Amino acid sequence: MTVTLLAFAASLRTSSLNRRLLHAAVEIARQKGAQVDVAEFHEFDMPLYDGDLQVREGIPVGAQELARRLQAADGLLLASPEYNFSIPGTLKNAIDWLSRIRPLPFKGKSALLLSTSTGLVGGNRGLWVLRVPLEMLGMHVYPDMYSLASGDKAMDPGGFPVDAAARLRLEAVIGGYLDTAVRLHG
Amino acid sequence: MTVTLLAFAASLRTSSLNRRLLHAAVEIARQKGAQVDVAEFHEFDMPLYDGDLQVREGIPVGAQELARRLQAADGLLLASPEYNFSIPGTLKNAIDWLSRIRPLPFKGKSALLLSTSTGLVGGNRGLWVLRVPLEMLGMHVYPDMYSLASGDKAMDPGGFPVDAAARLRLEAVIGGYLDTAVRLHG
Amino acid sequence: MTVTLLAFAASLRTSSLNRRLLHAAVEIARQKGAQVDVAEFHEFDMPLYDGDLQVREGIPVGAQELARRLQAADGLLLASPEYNFSIPGTLKNAIDWLSRIRPLPFKGKSALLLSTSTGLVGGNRGLWVLRVPLEMLGMHVYPDMYSLASGDKAMDPGGFPVDAAARLRLEAVIGGYLDTAVRLHG
Amino acid sequence: MTVTLLAFAASLRTSSLNRRLLHAAVEIARQKGAQVDVAEFHEFDMPLYDGDLQVREGIPVGAQELARRLQAADGLLLASPEYNFSIPGTLKNAIDWLSRIRPLPFKGKSALLLSTSTGLVGGNRGLWVLRVPLEMLGMHVYPDMYSLASGDKAMDPGGFPVDAAARLRLEAVIGGYLDTAVRLHG
């Protein structure tokens, strides 16, 4: 069975460290046999959530597109920055819009969460906040996550960790997730 | 000493239950001697956070306005809905923009957090997620919070809890917060 | 494939509401084909964690017993009270001891979390805190959880929710978990 | 006004890194004019929480002693290890016992939280989990916290950070907390 994944980094910045890390993760996932749909967060542009706007105009096109791409996949490979020790407002806003779509696009899907930052915590606190709405919406968020400290120095231009042990661990986390995804979605 | 507060509900919906609850809280705070600047969340409209946009165009006008109003006050009276057991993306997005302004607009300010929802938890899980970025940015978030379950039935048109004990508790929480704010900002 | 579960309530009180709820959950799980090892938290009595004690005397017998019973199962059915909006210290202490055992007893296992309390939140905040160490230690914690408000009034003597919709939801959550467990452990 | 503090490290190990960090913090607090009661966590030994035990024997002596020492102070200087990305079960157990005492010993007190660990996160995730029950029980937990990464290498024998900037930050956090404590308790 081939696992199909949607992959994106939850950052709008062109030079995002999380996008670089995501691209390495995508390459590893493909080498391990996954079929990956790589998206840009900009493809899912949507307004700030407003219940009145939803009544007037329905679900925005960008949210529908994210829901469609997620529905078409078994799981999600998501690299997210940490803003103020928490989830980025931009990413939470996307989750809030998608939570209004039925059937719930997250339900029964799996996810592997990655992060990096220039600091020593590598964005790990933000990922734990991110797990809550994803799990509440029915996602099987893989227990293990990958957070890379000092991402501005610790990655090569392709996003691969330069430290051998850090790279092996990234490969192991992705391998472990894909094994689980085969079981969950096979 | 008169405590000055900025007050708003983090919802863009016209018929927001949290706005109703906020208005009752504002009335109580004024009766207890606070001077309150009541704002609408729409006055702080701003785009989704994007580091490139910040470089090109600076801090958006709506974020500057929120920072200015917060800076002019001692503390913040904030009623926030809970979306998906967490902070609304819209509110987190505002916090993310404000965290880019120096000096930090939250630093040294105090806050009292309120919530209501149609469910039994009254939005309380979302408030605990909201505390983290506010505290990380230097705010004295008052330990006690107020979450009203079944907000669609539990408030009168003015936002006051119809149950006498629930109303007394709202008054006590606001009174306790104001006492602390006098000490912190006096 | 038959799913094997270890089941216990993380309360030492004889009249624990969570033990009652657990017993109903065990009965439902058995009706749905699971093989369940029902334990009492007292069988896993252990001292408070102390690194020096571990060096002197090794892992306590109660922690070894919990690890052995967990290792022998595919997954864990755990009902936990909420203490002070968080995980009970007693349960966290057991997790802390088990985290010192190699191989990690939690690794690769699945879990379904339940809670009840006399309050309106039904212990749900505590479960979200409990997820973190379990997931960090490698457990597949089922996304959906079951929290029963007003447990002192909402359960019959056997622990079954008296409200028909609440009982159906308990059955659905257990059914959904068992389907996932068959996939993960089959 | 002289601020009085109770100080302890939530670790039972003799060679605890958090106890070393705490001792440096105590020295700094004293230099800045605070009066500090330094305790060992062992002075507050108590059994695992059990509601039946409470009914039979009341609050254990160790919990009463911790409550008494906390009641006698304005605030708490607490250094806590992180176990499994969360609060130590030992410390949570103490909080759970104290939450049964009336009047609540935490109510209206302030706290400054510190942590260190051998890892890059310095125990910071555990402190965020620790805040919740303390705040829920009415403590003014100072917004800023201090987490020292690589504590086995980053402290001198007296617990002072060897890096000058890290030491200055420790002094600044303690100074900021004491300024706030004077306002809150003065």
- Give the model's pLDDT for residue C157: 96
- Do residue A124 and residue D122 have CB atoms under 8 angstroms apart? no
Q: Which chain B residues are Cβ-neighbours of C128 within 8 angstroms?
A: 85, 125
Q: In sequence order, which residues have a C-beta less than 8 Å from that of residue B160 and are 6 or more positions away?
A: B24, B167, B170
Q: pLDDT tier at D92 (50, 70, 90 boundaries)? A: very high
Nearest to D90 by CA among B139, C50, A48, C138: C50
Query: What tens digit of pLDDT does each residue of D18-29 get?
Result: 999 999 999 999
Closest approach of D158 to chain C, Cα-based (Å) = 21
Q: Which residues of A touch C139 (CB under 8 A)?
A: 143
Q: Residue D133: is the preceding peptide bond cis (ω within 30°)?
A: no
Any chain A CB within 8 A of the CB of C182? no
pLDDT digits (tens, 9 = 90+) for A17-52: 999 999 999 999 999 999 999 999 999 999 999 999
Does B125 contact C120 at a Cβ distance shorter than 8 Å?
Answer: no
At C108-119, the pLDDT tens digits run 999 999 999 999
Q: Work out the average pLDDT over C111-140.
A: 97
Query: What is the band of D45 on the pLDDT scale with cuts at 50, 70, 90?
Result: very high
Which chains reach chain A with 3 or more Cβ–Cβ distances below 8 angstroms?
Answer: B, C, D
Chains touching D by CB (3 or more pairs below 8 Å): A, B, C
Confidence of residue C45 (pLDDT cuts 50, 70, 90): very high
Read off the pLDDT of residues C7-18 as tens digits, 9 standing for 90 and up.
999 999 999 999
**C:157-176 residues touching chain B, CB 8 A cutoff:** none
Query: Which residues of B fall within a CB distance of 8 Å from D111?
Result: none
Report percent pLDDT > 90 for chain D.
99
Task: Report d(CA C182, CA C4) in Å as an integer.
Answer: 10
- pLDDT score recorded for residue D67: 98
The region that residue D85 occupies, defined by phi over 0 for left and psi between -120 and 50 for alpha, beta otherwise, is left
Low-confidence ranges of chain A (pLDDT < 50): none
Exposure letters A24-52 (e unless 16+ CB within 10 A, then b): bbbebbeeeebebeebebeebbbbbbbee
Is the Cβ of A183 closer than 8 Å to some Cβ of chain C? Answer: yes
The beta-carbon neighbor of D120 closest among A85, A120, A125 is A120
Instruction: Tell me which chain D residue has its CA closest to the CA of residue A125.
Output: D125
CA-based nearest residue to B11, from B90, B122, B107, B126: B90
Average pLDDT, chain C: 98
Distance (Å) from the alpha carbon of C136 to chain A's nearest alpha carbon: 6
Q: How many CA atoms lie within 13 A of D155 on its CB side?
A: 26
Instruction: Check CB contact of A129 with chain C, cutoff 8 Å.
Output: no
Cα angle vertex C18, ends D139, C9, to 5°?
A: 95
- DSSP letters along chain C, please? ---EEEEEES---TT-HHHHHHHHHHHHHHHTT-EEEE--GGGG--PPP-HHHHHHH-S-HHHHHHHHHHHTSSEEEEE---BTTB--HHHHHHHHHHTTSSS-TTTT-EEEEEEE-SSSSTTHHHHHHHHHHHHHTT-EE-S--EEETTHHHHB-TTS-BSSHHHHHHHHHHHHHHHHHHHHHH-
User: Is the CB of C87 less than 8 angstroms away from the CB of D90?
Assistant: no
Residue-level pLDDT at D81: 98
CA atoms within 13 A on the CB side of A28: 23
Q: Which of D13, D86, D96 is nearest residue C84 as measured by Cβ atoms?
A: D96
Contact pairs from chain B to chain C, CB under 8 Å = 17
Residue A55: CB atoms within 10 A of its CB come to: 10
Asked whether the whole model's pTM tops 0.90, one would answer yes
- The answer to whether C151 contacts chain B (CB < 8 Å) is no
| Residue D145 in tokens | 């916290």
* pLDDT on residue D138: 98
ipTM over 0.90: yes
Mutate one of B125, B141, B178 to test the D interface: name it (highest D CB count within 10 A).
B141
Considering only CB atoms, which chain A residues are within 8 Å of C180? 140, 184
DSSP state, B104?
Answer: -
Q: Give the number of other Cβ atoms within 10 Å of residue B164's Cβ.
A: 8
The per-residue pLDDT of chain D, averaged, comes to 98
Residue D85 Cα, gap to closest chain C Cα (Å): 6
Q: What confidence score (pLDDT) does residue D181 get?
A: 98
What is the pLDDT at residue D15? 93
Show residues of chain C in contact with A135, CB under 8 Å: 131, 141, 143
Mean pLDDT of the B174-186 span = 97
Provide the pLDDT for residue C177: 98
Residue C130 is predicted with a pLDDT of 98
Tell me if B51 and A88 make a contact (CB, 8 A cut-off): no
Q: Is D117 on the interface with C (CB under 8 A)?
A: no
B162 pLDDT band, cuts 50/70/90, is very high
Contact state of C49 with D137 under an 8 Å Cβ cutoff: no
Return the residue in B86, B101, B128 with the most chain A beta carbons within 10 A, the one to mutate for interface testing.
Answer: B86
CB contact under 8 A, D125 and A125: yes
Of C139, C143, C183, nearest to A135 by CB-CB distance is: C143
Query: Minimal Cα–Cα distance from B180 to chain D, Å?
Result: 7
| A120 interfaces chain D, CB cutoff of 8 Å | yes
pLDDT the model gives residue A162: 98
- Picking from C18, C83, C130 by the largest number of D CB atoms within 10 A of its own CB, the best residue to mutate is C83
Which residue is associated with the tokens 């006050």? B73
CB contact under 8 A, C52 and D92: no
Confidence class for position B53, pLDDT limits 50, 70, 90: very high
Contact C180 A184 (CB under 8 A): yes
Q: What is the pLDDT of residue C16?
A: 96
Comparing CB atoms, the residue among C85, C93, C96 nearest residue D133 is C85
Chain D from 74 to 103: CB within 8 A of any B CB? none
Q: Which of residues 6-35 of A touch C (CB under 8 A)?
A: none
Q: Do C120 and B85 touch (CB under 8 A)?
A: no
Nearest CA in chain A to D121: A121
Q: What is the mean pLDDT of residues B58-66?
A: 98
Name the residue of chain D whose CA is nearest to C48's CA. Answer: D90
Tokens encoding A152: 């501005």
Cβ-based contacts of C143 with chain A (< 8 Å): 134-141
Q: Which of D84, D116, D121 to mutate to test the interface with A (most CBs of A within 10 A)?
A: D121
Instruction: Specify the pLDDT at position C94.
Output: 98
Name the residue facing C128 among A132, A137, A138 (closest C-beta).
Answer: A132
Hey, are the CB atoms on C85 and D132 less than 8 Å from each other?
A: yes
Q: Please report where in the chains the tokens 């799913």 appear, as a residue.
A: C3
**Residue pairs spanning C and D at CB distance below 8 A:** 117
Residues of C in contact with A132 (CB under 8 A): 128
For residue B164, what are the contacts with CB-CB under 8 A and spacing of at least 6? none
Assess A132–B contact: CB distance below 8 Å, yes or no: yes
What mean pLDDT, rounded, does chain B reach? 98
Confidence of residue D115 (pLDDT cuts 50, 70, 90): very high
Distance of CA D27 to the CA centre of its chain: 15
Spatial contact of C4 and C34, defined as CB atoms under 8 Å apart:
yes
